Amino acid sequence: MSAELWNSAAVVLETNWSGDHMVPSRRLYPHQWSWDTAFIAIGLAYVNPGRAWRDLRSLFEAQWPDGRVPHIVFDPATAEADYFPGPAFWGVPAYGARPANGSTGIVQPPLHAVAAWKVYRRASAHGAACVQEARAELEWLYPRLVAQQDYLTTRRNLGGAGLASIVHPWESGLDNSPAWDAAMAGVPADLSLLTTYRRRDLDVADAAHRPTDRDYSRYVGLVLSYRAESYSDTDLLSRHDFAVECPSFNAILGAAELALAQIAGVLGRTAEAAVHRERAHRITDAIVARLWDPRSRTFHARDLRTGTLSPARCVSGLMPLLLPDLPAEQVEGVLAEARSARFGFPAPSYDRTAADFDTMRYWRGPVWINVNWLLRRGLLVHGLRDEAEELRAAMVRLVHQHGHFEYFHPATGEGLGAPTFSWTAALALDLLA
């Protein structure tokens, strides 16, 4: 089974390679996405480390002067009509080394330091030249990764407690998660906006599996609001309708500091390594102080506009397990939540017992491999080897039986969304290795 799965995963990554970057899916997502690039690099490390570095470079070549790494880097060879919202809609000047590429003005979870560290660690399996290349790539990436963290922990520190806020659901990577329902209720839903724009995703995916038009009208409205001030973060809280501290985004932010500490270590930057470890510690403390709910014993998203925690119990609430300093009370709570009837292995994106659990609709129920991969990593961080192995085996079975789909039905395992999806294939390689 594993050779067959390995080969099919390698084929997906070969097919989705576009010269200097990987697309998540040829039809649905024909550009480069930020956190996809991180997951994809983790798999490419096994079959083509040169492309893992190339992909990360292509993304960071589009980094903005303020340090933000855009959530999409557009491919100028792809027509505007092939993805909505495309480069003309975002209206962002092309920054950096690839001037023909536009980008979006929002971000995604900063998993790239974790990915770079994993690609580096794998290099020795490919020989001395590969180790040399990996070290040079780390040198190139390190200051850029630091700038990305600095952007998120300063300009996006909208709540003042040291966590990064997301200002659009797309920034979480968990687009229509119920975690945003309460906060999104305060965002005007102007359905007339969609008469001006055309949802390209509905041409290539089942409408019942995608966010609704109401969601999209809010997504578009939020981009228009951020775009109106050229994506400036100054005074954002007082003039923008969505600002949330997400437990998953911030757990990845903390994990990135720990990966940066490792990277700084191999680059001989000992003093910086200590600073990264200290930052990770502070992020962990802030996540516990601001996002832990002692009644539900899991983490929830905080809406900065109302100061309240979302009542929804989502897979994002399990992600702080990624942090090694997480206190025992929180580790136990999250583990109990993960093992409960609400989740189980592999974990669905939302509480199975919730009245509005939706088996088909994107981040409102289906199983996704990337968040389960992160959950497994969290289990390993806390020495929960049996649980980690159970989850690994469940993920491998799912992908082997149903294919490299974007997401999966949480009861039947049926594949949903894009059928040859890059991060599912890439992470399958890592799960098999």
Q: Which residues bind ligand 9WN (CB under 6 A)?
A: 24, 29, 33, 35-36, 71, 170, 173, 175, 201
What does the alpha-carbon distance between residue 243 and residue 353 come to, in Å, rounded to a whole number? 27
- 35 vs 117, beta carbon nearer ligand 9WN: 35
Which of 54, 36, 107 shows the shortest CA–CA distance to 425?
Answer: 36
> What is the closest distance, in whole angstroms, from the C-beta atom of residue 26 to ligand 9WN in the complex?
12
> What is the closest distance, in whole angstroms, from the C-beta atom of residue 24 to ligand 9WN in the complex?
3
How many Cβ atoms sit within 10 Å of the Cβ of residue 4? 9
- 24 vs 49, beta carbon nearer ligand 9WN: 24
- 173 vs 365, beta carbon nearer ligand 9WN: 173
> What is the closest distance, in whole angstroms, from the C-beta atom of residue 173 to ligand 9WN in the complex?
4
What does the alpha-carbon distance between residue 372 and residue 395 come to, in Å, rounded to a whole number? 8
- 83 vs 120, beta carbon nearer ligand 9WN: 83
> What is the closest distance, in whole angstroms, from the C-beta atom of residue 211 to ligand 9WN in the complex?
7
- 175 vs 337, beta carbon nearer ligand 9WN: 175
Q: Is 406 a catalytic residue?
A: yes
> What is the closest distance, in whole angstroms, from the C-beta atom of residue 66 to ligand 9WN in the complex?
20
**Catalytic member of 175, 201, 215, 245:** 175
- 26 vs 297, beta carbon nearer ligand 9WN: 26
**Catalytic member of 137, 257, 337, 406:** 406
Dihedral of CA 146/378/17/24: which sign? negative
- Between the two ends of the chain, the Cα-to-Cα distance in Å is 13
**Cis-peptide, bond into residue 346, ω within 30° of zero:** yes
> What is the closest distance, in whole angstroms, from the C-beta atom of residue 3 to ligand 9WN in the complex?
27
Q: Is 386 a catalytic residue?
A: no
Say if residues 308 and 302 touch (Cβ distance below 8 Å): yes
> What is the closest distance, in whole angstroms, from the C-beta atom of residue 418 to ligand 9WN in the complex?
8
Say if residues 211 and 202 touch (Cβ distance below 8 Å): no
- 205 vs 335, beta carbon nearer ligand 9WN: 205
- 36 vs 55, beta carbon nearer ligand 9WN: 36
> What is the closest distance, in whole angstroms, from the C-beta atom of residue 154 to ligand 9WN in the complex?
24
What amino acid positions are annotated as catalytic residues? 175, 406
